[in-house]
Amino acid sequence: MIIGERLKQCRQQQQLSQEMVAAELKVSRQTISNWENSRSYPDIERCIRLADLYELSLDELLRGDQRMVKNLINTTNLVKTGRLLALGLFLNLVLVVGLVFTVQYWWALVLVALLLLNVCWLFVLMIWVI
């Protein structure tokens, strides 16, 4: 059974309307409809809240829909990668500011080396994502 059918079945078993579920999850009724018709998928946080609302374990809710599981894994990986990219960009900013205010030559060399290493790391990370 695909996740959309499962979500609709569970909602109906709990005798809840799409509006009630939407209000509980703080999303629109249209979003619930899209999930139930497999036009889009809920994120992992909302899957957990849906499982709680429908009094199921997350495994029971997601079992059988491999596309949904794969989508959740990909989304989680993208979030982790995005955080790493943000950290790398912040570190680059700190290094550039350090370079601007450095008066000693050898500190400037150290900061340039760190900046280049960080740029290489970000480049590899972006290639890994693509």
Q: What is the pTM of this model?
A: 0.55
Longest CA–CA span in the chain (Å) reads 72
Q: What CATH number is attached to the domain comprising 17?
A: 1.10.260.40
53-109 tens-digit pLDDT: 999 888 888 776 667 667 777 777 777 778 888 888 888 888 888 877 777 887 888
Same domain, 20 and 36: yes
Same domain, 80 and 123: yes
At residue 33, the pLDDT reads 95
Nearest to 92 by CA among 118, 113, 74, 57: 118
- Looking at per-residue pLDDT, the higher value among 82 and 30 belongs to 30
Same domain, 80 and 36: no
- Cα dihedral 45/6/25/53 (nearest 10): -90
Q: Of 18-32, 41-55, 87-101, where does mean pLDDT reach its minimum?
A: 87-101
Domain range for 104: 67-129
Cα–Cα–Cα angle for 2, 50, 75, rounded to 5 degrees: 65
